[in-house]
Amino acid sequence: MIKTEDSQKYLDQIEEMIQKYKEIPIEAIIKQDILRLGLNFDPSVLKNNDFKTKDYFIFTFDHISLLEQSNEYRFKVPEEIKISGGRYGLLSTVVSVRVDPNSPYKITNEDQTIILKLYDTYIADVEFPPVPVWYQKLTSSGKFPNEIAPVIEWGYLIYLTVFRNCQYFGQEEECAFCDINHNWRQQKILKRPYTGIKSIEDILEVLSWIDTMDTTAKAYTITGGSVITHLQNKKETDFYFQYAEAIESNFPNRWIGKIVVQAWEKEELKRFKEIGIKIYHPNFEVWDPTLFRLLCPGKDKFIGRDLWIQRILESAEIFGPSNVIPNFVGGVELSKPYGFSSVEEAIKSTSEGLDFFMSHGIVPRFTTWCPEPYTTLSTIANQEIPPLIYFLELLTVWKRTFEKYKLPVPQGYGEPGRGKAVFSVSAFMDVIGYQGRS
């Protein structure tokens, strides 16, 4: 039973943050707090199957394993929620769902309306994402389209995890925060249709429906785990290239093509650009050199931090600097046992990385670290979720650095700004252009 005084104390803390971080929209403050703490659902709101549920498009992004989730929850929660109105008069804000039955943020029903509560306080009205019409079909090979080409970001992004495992395997190689292999294992144990290596034919068939039936999707991402030897007798770059080539030759420039892969050589990247790929995400994950080595052991061993940086800079010559968008896993610098012990040190380190890339015209973004079960980090230590103040400091420094270098709005994320952004796993797009409040 939640005590009223706890509930009031937490609400007071949020309102203090709202007073302190006036450069950050209130929408972004609430969004980061929900992403940090996850969401708890009243099972009654999950009964209607008239919304798009989580497709587990690459990772679980849940705080408890799928195996631990009750039948009322498992595979029944929405991919994202859209919050609006309520206590702070929020503009529409899309937030990714991370299941946590212990979260103080609860989605519940009142007077036939779905709402978000923080403990017992009404915060906002809630919508669940619509099911795309083409989700009802089945491919010629008998696959479900939501498994082959799921959409996220309220339908904006088609997410093609073409290889659902990573050859960086086990604690010596796997990134310590990543649950791609553990997600795969859980989906298989639960007998969910979950194709390991997707066929180009299946993808093209689903894309042909999206092409004719869908007006919301504007971008696609080709991604998957790293390939350190060969996959289907192909080296890593050839394996991923075949998908890009097939999509762009069948649907030239129909959507904004993005690849989320390792830091590749310039010569390899040229052919991706020539075929029509617009955005390159060679994710950097964490800036501090020691943490990069400890948290990304496979990347460190097979490519190395210095070469990774050099290749990011070189890739800017191919795609244009603002179309190179390396991701940082926001908050993982505070993970145990290797991370920084204070928010100040963590922010100081990541700000250096943001400034370094942005000074070259590159636009790093960040996601919100989710300490999923079974990852190396959750196995070796009891992880604490980074405090809200860390994310608000990170958003502040990201926004200030982005403005200092007068960088363009990143392509492939939809419209920026409060009430418009659809990127759901951090609020970096929500803060763009915000003028602050008095």
- Contact footprint for ligand SF4 (CB under 6 A): 166, 168, 174-175, 178, 180, 225-226, 298-299
For ligand SF4, give the closer residue by CB, 377 or 432.
377
Do you find a cis peptide bond into 408, omega within 30 degrees of 0?
no
CB of 162 to ligand SF4, least distance (A): 12
Chain Cα centroid distance, residue 384 = 20
CB of 22 to ligand SF4, least distance (A): 35
Residue type, 120: D
Helix-helix angle 343-359:388-404, to 10 degrees = 20
DSSP 99: B
CB of 334 to ligand SF4, least distance (A): 18
For ligand SF4, give the closer residue by CB, 36 or 299.
299
For residue 148, what are the contacts with CB-CB under 8 A and spacing of at least 6? 139, 195, 198, 202, 203, 206
CB of 255 to ligand SF4, least distance (A): 23
Distances (CA, A) of 296 to 163, 173, 285, 292, 293: 19, 7, 8, 5, 6
Mark residue 250 as left, alpha or beta (left: phi above 0; alpha: psi -120 to 50; beta: remaining): alpha
Closest by alpha carbon to 344, among 286, 381, 397?
A: 397
For ligand SF4, give the closer residue by CB, 152 or 175.
175
Q: What stretch of H or E contains 16? A: helix 4-20
For ligand SF4, give the closer residue by CB, 58 or 210.
58
CB of 178 to ligand SF4, least distance (A): 3
CB of 339 to ligand SF4, least distance (A): 17
Helices (H), 216-303: 236-250, 266-275, 289-295, 297-302
Starting from the edge strand earliest in sequence, which strands make up the sheet with 113-118, in order?
40-41, 105-110, 113-118, 121-127, 80-85, 90-96
For ligand SF4, give the closer residue by CB, 76 or 299.
299
CB of 117 to ligand SF4, least distance (A): 34
Residues 292 and 301: their CA atoms lie apart, in Å, by: 11
For ligand SF4, give the closer residue by CB, 149 or 377.
377
For ligand SF4, give the closer residue by CB, 135 or 302.
302
CB of 134 to ligand SF4, least distance (A): 28
For ligand SF4, give the closer residue by CB, 210 or 261.
261
For ligand SF4, give the closer residue by CB, 63 or 281.
281
Tokens 């420039």 label which residue?
Answer: 253
Closest by alpha carbon to 227, among 292, 300, 164?
A: 164
Per the DSSP assignment, residues forming a β-bridge with 261 are 282
For ligand SF4, give the closer residue by CB, 74 or 185.
185
The beta-strand segments (E) located in 321-397 are 327-330, 365-368
CB of 225 to ligand SF4, least distance (A): 4
CB of 226 to ligand SF4, least distance (A): 4
Report whether 98 contacts 39 (CB < 8 A): yes
